[in-house]
Amino acid sequence: MTQATKASPTTPKTTMPVLFLSHGSPTLPFDDVPARDFLMRLGARLPRPTAILCVSAHWEAETPSITASPAPSTIHDFHGFPASLYELQYDAPGDPDLAARIATLLEAGGYTPFLNTERGLDHGAWNPLMLMYPQSGIPVLQLSLIRRGKPADHIALGRLLAPLREEGVLVMASGGAVHNLRAVEWGGRTPPPEWATGFDNWLRSRIEAGDFPALIDYRTQAPDARIAHPSEDHLMPLFVALGAAAADAPVIPGQSLHASFTFGSLGMASYGWGF
């Protein structure tokens, strides 16, 4: 589960779906939970991508930034977990040429992107990918969120990425459907509280309806939004996925791929577009 081999240069391009995945705890590769089983099966359901562009909740920058290393490192961006977790490596290659292509798309949208040749892959990327593509060799890049960016800003950012889908690139947003670490019960498997299920159900209904206005205004419209997301970082990747899926269309409905909770209130719902 820790090694990756070189992807075939003859991998055919195909229009790729867009994903929003809840990556949960860094321990997910070891946790015997439904979300892990879902991710272990997900890769086989998808067309094989030529590359994967991950937008993770764990990277924000003042200007959109793209990993541009040919061999990105595995970042263990967490503390206090078992030693075995820090031994995991996801040795996927990078793709500097694709990073430059993404930068060109963002420049056309008025951004001044930064190609980061030093940064590796954080656990928002490698945690789900280690389960989906354990030995794929598929190049993986990351695109940062915009620090202090709003939902509409990230939808606009995602729309600029839409052409990549026709080039066989899988746009994978990685965050959390419900993410309040202060409310997580690390030691047990208690049922999720009503505030968590209420927000989770609202989110699913609005994604399936393609209700972009309500999603953009989720802080006001969704029940218990500020409890479900005390900070917005783990939901913000969703808006990049919405934009990448919709492209020039004003809205697009999404499809629920998985729904569960771990550690009580940690929402693990995942969604797809273009399946």
Which residues contact residue 50 at a Cβ distance below 8 angstroms, ignoring those fewer than 6 apart?
A: 7, 11, 13, 138, 139, 167, 168, 169
Q: What is the mean pLDDT of the chain?
A: 94
pLDDT in tens, 129-174: 999 999 879 999 999 999 999 999 999 999 999 999 999 999 999 9
Residue count of the chain, please give it: 275
Pairing of strands 169-175, 114-116: unpaired
pLDDT at 125: 97
pLDDT in tens, 31-53: 999 999 999 999 999 999 999 99
pLDDT at 186: 83
Predicted TM-score (pTM) of the model is 0.94
pLDDT at 13 over 80: no
Average pLDDT for 92-110:
98
Domain chopping of the chain, boundaries: 18-273
The C-alpha angle 149, 56, 8, rounded to 5 degrees, equals 135
pLDDT in tens, 51-99: 999 999 999 999 999 999 999 999 998 888 888 889 899 999 999 999 9
Pairing of strands 51-61, 140-146: parallel
pLDDT at 82: 83
Which residues contact residue 22 at a Cβ distance below 8 angstroms, ignoring those fewer than 6 apart?
A: 35, 174, 175, 176, 177, 266, 267, 268, 269, 270
Question: Helical H runs in 19-147?
Answer: 34-45, 83-86, 96-108, 123-132
CA nearest 55: which of 23, 24, 84? 23
pLDDT at 1 over 90: no
Q: For the chain, how many helices (H) and strands (E)?
A: 10, 10
C-beta separation of 52 from 4 below 8 A: no
Confidence of residue 12 (pLDDT cuts 50, 70, 90): low
Lowest mean pLDDT among 11-15, 25-29, 107-111, 230-234: 11-15
C-beta separation of 261 from 184 below 8 A: no
Percentage of residues in the chain having pLDDT higher than 70: 95
pLDDT at 264 over 90: yes
Lowest mean pLDDT among 7-21, 116-130, 184-198: 7-21
How many CA atoms are closer than 13 Å to the CA of 38, on its beta-carbon side?
Answer: 19
Average pLDDT for 252-273:
97
Average pLDDT for 95-105:
98
pLDDT at 187: 76
Options 2.60.34.10, 3.40.50.10680, 3.40.1000.10, 3.40.830.10; CATH for 18-273 is 3.40.830.10
pLDDT at 6: 41
